[in-house]
Amino acid sequence: MGLLQLYWSILRSMWAASYALASILTLTMTWVAIRGTATRSHTINLILSLLSDQLSELPISIMILDACYYTWLTATGTFQQSPLVRFFYYINIITAVGLIYLFKRAFEVRDVIHKHLEQYSKERREEIDLPGLTSPRFWQQLLNPFHSPYNTTLYPNIPYWTPEEQLTAVATDGWRASADITLDIYRPNEVAMGSDRPVLIYIHGGGSWTKGSKRITGPLVTEMLNQEWVVVSIDYRRSSRAGYPTQLIDCKRALRWIKAEIDVFGGNPNNLVVAGDSSGGHLAAMLALTPNQPAYQPGFEDVDTTVQGCIAQTAILDLTDIQGYYHDDQRTRFLRTVAKRGEAEKEKKEEKEKKKQEDGWPTANTTSTSTTTTTTTVEDAPTCISTSPEDLKFLMEHSPLHRITAEAPPFLVIHGDLDTIAPVGMARAFVDHFRRVVRGGVGGQQAMTYLEIPGGHHLFGLLSSPRTWYATIAAAHWLEHHFEGRERGLAKNEDIVQWGW
């Protein structure tokens, strides 16, 4: 009997300790989610952003889990016997107030989307009233944080390279590269082979151009499949020894394949919209803003690589960071880990020193350091790895902000105002510059639509929440308005965002 009591005592102590730790973590992250706190460390910011997204998008689910845990502690007598549990019970009441505030702020996105939809159809204002708290499906989708395409046919892992290109990639990056140079096609079952439907090309983000998977798609993909669009999710090499712009060139190769073959799967090769989030949003924007650029089309320079539109969600739109948007050193990280320019310079230096040593020359002091200056002008802007103008030029060439021309296609930019990975100031600068440059170009100011999402963190679009739901509705209307609105009219709200269980 004594051993059994000891056993239960140990269990209750463990439950009490875990409840206390969970309460501290939830309270801290609720505060971070409300404030959008950032540090100088990219890794810490990424962890904070991931946790903040969970609380910002799923506050009701978090409160339900807490209530379930409290019920368990009460049923087992832990609550009655542990002062620690009773103390953190009251702490969790404070946390619940913060979670309710997060839910309220997510629901406020409804007003932002209402204003956005008014510009499309003022005469149909009553018909585009958005679902609210009294809608059963609102709660159904809120409590189901997962979504995946359904009622579709998936054609997975289709290689988009020529045999020669594939052999070159394997020789450079190994056999693993073969899995990264493929795409997935989602065809709604209602769309017959050989139809002429619009095509959404989705480019995944993840790990700043070096991680992620084409199988991780946002709710926009699911929604547009429900609207009978053909969707292509493309992959690209994420660990190439050559570094960036290998990722962009791979996306161009995928676009080449799509233009040549998508009509077989029911898509229209002349009605292509590219979309992406985070680093995928950067690649999507670069794809849209650099059509027919020979430098990014080696071996297929004569292929038309234009697209008809772009959706950039929480995208990296400026790599130069001259205005100081980022909380961490984005330039150095991109140049070293993504473009691998630092590694290339190091290899060249080592080869040079080795050659000197072989020729009898004295070697350089490899422990010496150099200093850099901080400025705010483009001409002397720091390049972090070196002060050479080549690095700055490289960053500018691969920043969508600096690639905007009057011929740019229509853009929809969606950005959260609490994004600490891709700060919202960068998105605002991109939008302002786009509207100035494209004012007299194709579509004028109609070509830019900007949605700033209140309370949105970097990855808010990957989970089911009111914020994600309303942003997806807005994107669906934007796509129909620009790319098939004349044919089918605006989507009906009862038909959109039918995410599966």
The residues assigned a catalytic role are: 278
Please, is 224 exposed, middle or buried when counting C-beta atoms within 10 Å of its C-beta (0-12, 13-18, 19+)?
buried
186 strand-pairing partners: 154, 231
**DSSP letter assigned to residue 238:** S
| 414: Cβ contacts below 8 Å, ≥ 6 apart | 311, 312, 313, 314, 451, 453, 461, 471, 474, 475
Q: Which pair of structure tokens corresponds to residue 148? A: 């995946």
| 421: Cβ contacts below 8 Å, ≥ 6 apart | 42, 45, 46, 49, 278, 314, 458
DSSP track, 14-36: HHHHHHHHHHHHHHHHHHHHHHT
412 strand-pairing partners: 311, 449
Residue 437 φ then ψ, to 5°? -75, -40
Q: Is the dihedral of CA 104, 108, 110, 113 positive or negative?
A: negative
Q: Which pair of structure tokens corresponds to residue 92? A: 């969790």
- Among the listed residues 486, 410, 402, the one whose alpha carbon sits nearest the alpha carbon of residue 450: 410
Residue 184 CA to residue 153 CA, distance in Å, equals: 10
Q: Which pair of structure tokens corresponds to residue 352? A: 């040079």
Residue 247 CA to residue 259 CA, distance in Å, equals: 19
Residue 23 CA to residue 426 CA, distance in Å, equals: 35
Looking at the chain, the number of H-run helices and the number of E-run strands are 18, 8
3-state secondary structure of 450: strand
272 strand-pairing partners: 199
